[in-house]
Amino acid sequence: MTHVLETGFEIIESDNPDDNVKVKGYNIINGELKLSSDGKLFESHNPARLKDCLGEFPLSTKEDVHDAIKAARNAFSTWSTTPAPTRGQIIGNMGRLLMQYKDDIVRVETREIGKTLKESAGSVQEAIDTCLFFQSEGRRLYGQTVNSELPDKELFTYRRPLGVCGIINACNFPAAVPFWKMIPAIMCGNTCVWKSPQDAPLLSFMLTRIMHESGLPNGVINLVHGKGSGAGQYLVDAVDEGLLNKISFTGSTSVGKMIGEVCGRNLVSASLELGGKNPLVIMPSANIENAVEGAYWAGFGTAGQRCTSLGNLIIHEEIYDEFVEKLMDKVRSTTIGDSMRNDGVLYGPMLSERYATDFLKTLEMCDSSGAIKLWGKGRITSENKPDNFLGIPEEGVYMWPHVYDNVTEDMACFHEEIFGPAITLVKATDFEHALYLANASPYGLSSAIYTNDRLEAYRFKTGIKAGMTGINNSTTGAEAHLPFGGVKGSGNGTRESGIWVIESYSYWHAVNDELSGKLQLAQMDVEEIDIEAADVDYSSLA
């Protein structure tokens, strides 16, 4: 057992000089580095170069997860009574350390999940922005004073922490999203058990080490590694066992519904940020070149592996052919490859083999739905690759960009989320039809419209059923001080980011302070005020 602050990363030696650095990873429980109780491990591999193993990590058992929860529960009493400005100062330290180590974190994120270096830098910057934002919120964790209806009595409200929070996030934003969750959680005085994404354990290990370096007390944030069906499920089961006070989850709608059911029957708070089939509407008044850029990035940035990636591209029939022609010119020129080896890459590999398998299954659904495939041939191989692929395809998990035309509302591919580089094209006859189509899927996360008609923009943002809307912007892009989340199948109404997220990690405590020295009963002892007729002669006004 080694204390988290007393050792550097342990390197697993290799006899092969061509091997990259391979790290021995640990759970971090109560500030200590621990292996799994049964010694089992799993590996993390670079999806751009599958033979590149980043490290081995504990396959956490139920005992490990319970140890982490116990540590969080023990730390709660001290952390929750630590002054909020002090908690904010530690969070500010985290942000400054993230800035100090940013280049290293970015390279680890790109190596572990295959995002381009530019996109990984954006993810890490989002974590930095979150820390700097909530540092100051430590001095603004406001309650209110309320006037009493009785004399010699004061009324107050306070924000109180919930307790121990279980944190589960997907691997596509492995720096930004867990910080969206844990930073406001600990700022409010909660403690956390974080189940790292199984495809990004090294980055999670690195970030947790940095959080402890900032002065965070042991037990406030505890990290356990493993699979969703293992450590993740053990964390959810702990709600039924009465051990957790909150679950915050980012992932699929099906898993989110399961977690919501468990939390609901135990009256435990749940934050659920789920999938999307995000619509983007193009109207005739739009700047076509700008709209093409926005749609192209929304669909294929991050290889379409954002929960806010473009789903249905809804184009007015008047400009349909022109728009599709210009969009396809860009799609056919897409540069794909490993950004750690090549410049100018739009997107890299799928996040892992697991995500690649799921993506290929959704392509089968698109192919069988009746839509017309304009571009895309599945997985990239040496015998099956687009002109602008850079590198050796078989080294990683790379996919063609896919575009499906003539998609209609009765097709499965209109409604189902496709998590990968694929978009569906839908034709609209007018604005009302476009808005109807934008609302017709079961999801409601992000949305966007390109138009220079201000009335159309207004009617879209007031008529769309989504948690977020872009006007003359893509469906992607979130800032650390704006609420993030969806409605319908995309979430349960909770939000990440900004001051609004504080509602998800605290509860209101009302305090009634009686100063009169006697029992005063609200509503019953209030002096009644008689209504008296005004002593005015109105006859002179006739």
The whole-number average pLDDT for the span 85-108 is 97
pLDDT on residue 17: 44
Q: How many CB atoms lie within 10 A of CB 302?
A: 25
Buried b (16+ CB within 10 A) or exposed e, 19-34: eeebbbbbbbbbbbbb
pLDDT per residue as tens digits for the range 121-159: 999 999 999 999 999 999 999 999 999 999 999 999 999
**Is 70 exceeded by the pLDDT of residue 8?**
no
CA dihedral 426, 431, 433, 437 (to 10 degrees): 50
SS3 label, residue 348? coil
Give span(s): CATH 3.40.309.10, the chain: 278-479
Of the candidates 49, 95, 115, the residue with the CA atom closest to the CA atom of residue 476? 115
Hey, how many other C-beta atoms are within 10 angstroms of the C-beta on 264? 12
H or E stretch covering 412: helix 412-415
Query: pLDDT tens, 337-352?
Result: 999 999 999 999 999 9
Examine the pLDDT at 18 and tell me if it is beyond 80. no
pLDDT at 502: 96
Q: What is the CA radius of gyration of the chain?
A: 26
Residue 529, pLDDT score? 80
* Residue 6: predicted pLDDT: 37
Q: Is the pLDDT of residue 188 over 80?
A: yes
Residue 21 gets the label, from left (phi > 0), alpha (psi -120 to 50) or beta, of beta
C-alpha distances out from residue 175 to 112, 303, 379, Å: 12, 18, 27
CA angle 523–528–534, rounded 5-degree value = 145
pLDDT (mean) for 35-62:
97
Average pLDDT over residues 364-370: 94
Catalytic residues: 307
CATH of 62-274+497-504, one of 3.30.450.20, 3.20.20.450, 3.40.50.2020, 3.40.605.10: 3.40.605.10
User: pLDDT > 70: what percent of the chain?
Assistant: 96
Query: What is the rounded average pLDDT of the residues 173-193?
Result: 97
Residue for token pair 């010694």: 39
pLDDT at 528: 82
* pLDDT confidence tier of residue 11, bands split at 50, 70 and 90: low
Convert the pLDDT of each residue in 416-436 to its tens digit: 999 999 999 999 999 999 999
Give 57's pLDDT tier (boundaries 50, 70, 90). Answer: very high
Tell me, what's the pLDDT at 532?
77
Please state the separation of Cα 221 from the chain's center in Å: 18
- Is 50 exceeded by the pLDDT of residue 7? no
Question: In one letter, which amino acid is 240?
Answer: D
pLDDT of residue 530: 81
Query: What's the pLDDT score for residue 2?
Result: 38
Question: Mean pLDDT across the stretch 93-104?
Answer: 97
Q: Please state whether 336 falls in left (phi above 0), alpha (psi between -120 and 50) or beta.
A: beta
284 pLDDT above the threshold of 80 = yes
Residue 21 has pLDDT above 80, yes or no: no
pLDDT at residue 489, as a whole number: 96
Q: What is the pLDDT of residues 220-279, one digit of tens each?
A: 999 999 999 999 999 999 999 999 999 999 999 999 999 999 999 999 999 999 999 999
Query: Is pLDDT at 493 greater than 90 in this prediction?
Result: yes
Mean pLDDT of the chain: 94
Q: What is the CATH number of domain 278-479?
A: 3.40.309.10
Contact (CB, 8 A) for 328 and 318: no
